Amino acid sequence: MSNEVAALNQDIDLSRVDSIVEPYLGRKEMVIPILQKVQEDFGYLPRPAMEHVATRMHIPLSRLYGVTTFYAQFKLKPRGRNIIRVCKGTACHIQGSPKISERIEETLDVESGETTDDLRFTLEEVACIGCCALAPVIMVNDDPHGRLTPDKVKEILDSYE
């Protein structure tokens, strides 16, 4: 675990978790909405927050981890301020998205599914972004970038803090 992640896990304000859990006490069937709200608040599901939810809701921590690992929407590690989604659809693949992915991985020193140590970027692969006419395409947050070449990657990434 990087120092940034360790520091984040130590600085978890459990009173924020309490305010999320409080309306649902005694309602174990509400575990998914609780986890969604905790993740919305923190950006991911920190272990101390998960432990606190388990204690307050009288649910085994293993059950919470079962839920969070089953559903792809839940993230157990901090995500970057900027989410890069590389389209792996047919049009993008044919037009060179594998080379775009390689260049992003080289530039950021991460692989798909990972976050940079400085929490600036998280890299994800997606089945389709829906901008086939602009292939190959990446999305950074909500911004599409199309007709890419590997040479354009660094300039695009440099424009995000």
CA distance 32 to 136: 35
CA distance 104 to 85: 11
**Nearest Cα to 53, choosing from 28, 78, 77?**
28
What is the length of the chain? 161
CA distance 100 to 67: 33
CA distance 161 to 159: 7
Q: What tens digit of pLDDT does each residue of 25-84 get?
A: 999 999 999 999 999 999 899 999 999 999 999 999 999 999 999 998 999 999 999 999
Return contacts of 98-106, CB within 8 angstroms, 24+ apart: 99/150, 100/136, 100/138, 100/148, 100/149, 100/150, 100/153, 101/125, 102/150, 103/150, 103/153, 103/154, 104/138, 104/153, 104/157
Q: What tens digit of pLDDT does each residue of 101-138 get?
A: 999 999 999 999 999 999 999 999 999 999 999 999 99
CA distance 50 to 36: 12
Residue 4 has pLDDT above 50, yes or no: no
CA distance 104 to 100: 6
Q: Which residue, chain included where needed, has tokens 């600036």? A: 120
The whole model's pTM is what? 0.76
CA distance 14 to 33: 17
Contact in structure between 38 and 53 (CB atoms under 8 Å): yes
